[in-house]
Structure formats: C-alpha cells, structure tokens
Amino acid sequence: MSPAGRERAQGPLLAQPLKPPSGGRIAAYLGLFVLGALVGVAGALLQAAWFPGGLLLALAGSAGLFLGGARAARSRGGAVAGAAGWLIAVMLLTASRPEGDFLFAAGGGSYVFLLGGMAVAVICATVGRGR
C-alpha cells in the first residue's frame, strides 16, 4: 500500500493518539541528559584552557552529542534531552559563588561557547530526525 493509502486508512499522523514513551526510551533520554551535563562541564573547562582550539573542540563535542542523540533516539527528543542537560550544567557554572569565584570569565571565548552551544543545540534539534 502506498504512503498516501496508509494515511487515508489510518488518518493523518497528527490525528493519531499519543502513546507514553517506553521505559527504554525514558532511560535513553535520561542518559542523554546526564551525558549532556557532562559534556557541558567538560566544554566549560576546555574552552578556556586551550583557546581557540579548546573552544572549537568543545563546540564540536556538543554538536556531536546533540546530533548523535537525535540519530540514536530516532527523534528530535534525543537532541533536546542532551541539550537540556548541557544548558542546565552551563547555566549553573555561569553563576558566581558567594566567595567571588566563577568559572566563565567575561571574555569573547566564553560568550562564543555559551551562544554557540545554544545555536548548535537548536540547529541539531531542528535537523534531527522527526517522527
């Protein structure tokens, strides 16, 4: 049966009822979330240590995680789960501590890492495979 014939027989894809995700998919998304947090912490340390090569390596690692998560999960949710972990870890690292310590300096490399990582996350979630 052709795809158009299947759509007529089952109805449009948007009219299909939503099913809750399986336990394996939830575990995969949770693993991608934790991996995103680890990549965010590693990238935050790496981008300042070996500028500009560390910045490019940190952004490439983030892009690899986001796009790989989307491909592994066969959905955009894989990229979103990794990006959410990355974003939460990086935002927590940008906050200064009461002692005055901070991890991100007010330099161009830090801003490129923050904004570039967010842009890469959006691009990979958009390019990632849909339903």
pTM of the model: 0.77
pLDDT tens digits, 5-17 = 554 555 666 667 7
Residue 20: asked if its preceding bond is cis (omega within 30°), the reply is: no
* pLDDT, mean of residues 36-62: 88
Most confident of the following: 45-59, 76-90, 97-111: 76-90
Task: Write the burial class of residue 31 (CB in 10 Å: 0-12 exposed, 13-18 middle, 19+ buried).
Answer: middle
**More reliable by pLDDT, 60 or 109:** 60
> What is the rounded CA–CA span in Å between residue 4 and residue 114?
44
| Residue among 76, 93, 61 at smallest CA distance from 25 | 76
Phi, psi (rounded to 5 degrees) for 123: -65, -45
Q: What is the mean pLDDT of the chain?
A: 82
**How many Cα atoms occupy the beta-carbon half-sphere of 61 within 13 Å?**
21
Could you count the other beta carbons within 10 Å of the beta carbon of residue 7?
A: 13
pLDDT tens digits, 113-124 = 888 989 998 988
pLDDT of residue 15: 67
